[in-house]
Chains A and B, each alone.
Chain A
Amino acid sequence: DAKTTQPPSMDCAEGRAANLPCNHSTISGNEYVYWYRQIHSQGPQYIIHGLKNNETNEMASLIITEDRKSSTLILPHATLRDTAVYYCIVRVAPRVGNNRKLIWGLGTSLAVNP
């Protein structure tokens, strides 16, 4: 199964861009990369996902390298409310059946400082 590697923690100044890296060097061609975040005392929240192309939504941008071995989640203007644990996740195909499941990384604890 593909696995992800993330730095355990990062800091970012409020108003600046937060760039969160993720390595997934063993990812297969049909496996998606997902990002979720978990704010303290809350459940995980979906942010964005992608396969090959860069993606952008109202929350963030996802940049995937051409070889798909790594990706970066970008929060363009971080606020204090973006302080959370950010999980880089690969959706993998099972050995049997058709139901994909999410393989979660250990997460990056992002602290946005005033």
Chain B
Amino acid sequence: DTEVTQTPKHLVMGMTNKKSLKCEQHMGHRAMYWYKQKAKKPPELMFVYSYEKLSINESVPSRFSPECPNSSLLNLHLHALQPEDSALYLCASSQSLQGFISNQPQHFGDGTRLSIL
């Protein structure tokens, strides 16, 4: 059982829809991450939040909008997505950002499989 919970597990949406992916962790972690994973590829980092503030944006298109309402929750708002955005979206958390001293591993959820029609 994963300690990072993602909902929904599957999502099908049209290119004009607005939807949100949700991620929740109760491990007291202060860093949370969004990754995108295409089939047979490794995860690609999208966003990193540290203490509820956006720390890293890996040049992600603005049709993806992250939000961290509190230390346990992370959302990814989706709008006007393209078919190439179909992928597995993974959320992860760690005790803190993997900075100069910290080596804490990231804990991943099982992802939301997103299909854009």
Task: Identify the A interface with B (CB < 8 A).
Answer: 32, 34, 41-46, 49, 87, 91, 93, 98-102, 104-107
Contact = CB atoms under 8 A, between A and B. Distances in A.
Contact of A43 (B2, B42, B56): B2
A6 to B, nearest CB: 10
Interface residues of B, number: 24
B42 A100 contact: no
Contacts of A105: 42
Interface string B86-117: 00001010000111100101111111000000
A100 B4 contact: no
Contacts, number: 54
B99 A44 contact: no
Interface of B: 2, 4, 41-43, 45, 48, 50, 55-56, 90, 92, 97-100, 103, 105-111
A45 B41 CA distance: 16
B98 A46 contact: no
Given A43-B110, A44-B108, A101-B45, A49 B103 contact: yes
B107 A46 contact: yes
A91 B94 CA distance: 14
A91 B42 CA distance: 15
Contact of B105 (A34, A41, A93, A104): A34
Nearest to A89: B42
Contacts of B107: 46
Contacts of B105: 34, 46, 49
